[in-house]
Structure 1
Amino acid sequence: MRRTKCAGQLLWRWRSNPLRRHNDVVEAWIILVVWTVIALGGTLVGVMAGHAADESFGQLRHERHSVSAVLVENTARIAPTAEGTAHDWARATVRWTTPDGSTHTGRALVDSGHRAGSRVVIWLDSSGRPTTEPPTAWAAAFEAGMLGAGAAAAFAGLAFATGRVARWRLDQRRYAEWGREWDRLGAQGGHKTT
């Protein structure tokens, strides 16, 4: 019995009722459309954003490759601060040899605390310039999932806000109708309470 009563309260705008106004039906349709857009559109936007981010990270992993390099200069050990250090990396000048035998020099991120002449691993982009290490498959999947969830939430928020604005406009219309009704009823009764 309680479940039937609850369902009846949720669907009151859809039932035939002499007190139901046109605005109530319009509001019911707005609510239905907004929640459908949130459920389907949010899911679609989230999946598309996550897939695009995953493809982008996959392309980074495909384009970047690691090579062995020699430090040209010392890298100082970074002393931890009160806040702590996020990474134990330093930018240093390194020298590496490409597969065709040519030698290149450039600045790259390397582990700190090494002396000049030490061998380190650096990452190069497709044009042979030093770059950062691409995200691992697990990190890329996690970040793509978070980006997809963020895109879905942003889309859902936009759809919900649009629905709230439409319902606010309906409320403004209802208030105007009620004001006209009060004015009409007050004129029929012959006196006003204000």
Structure 2
Amino acid sequence: MRTADGPGRTGPRPAPGGADRLRRTASRWEDVLSVGLGLLVAVGLLAAWLAGSSAHDRVLERGATEAAERNAVEAVVTERATSVADVQSGLQALTVSWTAPDGSARTGGTSLPGMYQVGDRLTVWVGPDGQLTPPPSTPTDAVTVAGAAGFMTLVVWGVALVGLGHLGFRWTGRRFARAWELDWADVEPQWSGRRTP
């Protein structure tokens, strides 16, 4: 009968010592930790998908509500007030005039991408009160927000898993190191010829 001690060795299997128990326990915990982390990765992917899907739906709903409340109207550029900062950001500060839904003439300031001259016609969005307002959220906005929400969920979940894995494998690593110390304490006196008192 061969034992785990090596090829050609016969006889009864030696009783496991403290080091063997430590190694077996640490090995079991590493297996559990690996499987658990794998499952948590799958849960994190699902959570990211759900977060992105939920954010997408919310932005689409908000866009539908905004589109129902806001109107696109034609405006005329009456003044250019572009600062250096606006030009660098790709926006041009303008004063525009438009006719509100109630028929009254309005004037207001806005910043829009592109370059406009006085007298140019453009489309602006106004709210129920006739004042300038940002355009409604679009499906492109919904996709952008969904991607950001999913990505941030993955980042937060990933950081948590890396921390959990680090702590878990550090704990098992200490147990393996302790098992090695126990083995070395048994072998070192025989290997070095040094007698222990």
Q: TM-score range by the shorter chain?
A: 0.5 to 0.7
Q: 1:103 to 1:48 in 2, by over 3 A?
A: farther
Q: 1:38 to 1:103 in 2, by over 3 A?
A: same
After TM superposition, give the deviation of residue 29 of structure 1 in Å: 0.6
Residue identity (%): 23
After TM superposition, give the deviation of residue 28 of structure 1 in Å: 0.5
Which one of the candidate residues 72, 76, 79 is aligned to 1:70? Answer: 76
Q: Is the 8 A contact 1:48 1:148 kept in 2?
A: no
Q: Is the 8 A contact 1:75 1:113 kept in 2?
A: no
Q: Is the 8 A contact 1:51 1:144 kept in 2?
A: no
Equivalence map 1:152-167=2 (5 Å): 152-154=153-155, 155-167=157-169
Q: Which runs of 5+ in 1 are unaligned?
A: 1-17
Equivalence map 1:114-153=2 (5 Å): 114-116=117-119, 118-124=120-126, 129-137=131-139, 139-153=140-154
What is the aligned-residue RMSD (CA, Å)? 3.3
Q: What's 2:174 paired with?
A: 172
Code of the aligned partner of 2:144: E
Equivalence map 1:21-60=2 (5 Å): 21-39=24-42, 41-58=43-60, 59-60=62-63
Q: 1:95 to 1:152 in 2, by over 3 A?
A: same
Q: Is the 8 A contact 1:46 1:150 kept in 2?
A: yes
| Secondary structure of residue in 2 paired with 1:94 | strand
| Secondary structure of residue in 1 paired with 2:101 | coil
The structure with the larger Rg is: 2
After TM superposition, give the deviation of residue 38 of structure 1 in Å: 0.6
| Secondary structure of residue in 2 paired with 1:73 | strand
Q: 1:129 to 1:171 in 2, by over 3 A?
A: farther
Q: Is the 8 A contact 2:125 2:135 kept in 1?
A: yes
Count of residues in Structure 1 that have an aligned counterpart in Structure 2: 165
1: CA distance between counterparts of 2:129 and 2:183? Answer: 75
Q: Which runs of 5+ in 2 are unaligned?
A: 1-15
1: CA distance between counterparts of 2:143 and 2:65? Answer: 18
Q: 1:103 to 1:44 in 2, by over 3 A?
A: farther
After TM superposition, give the deviation of residue 32 of structure 1 in Å: 0.5
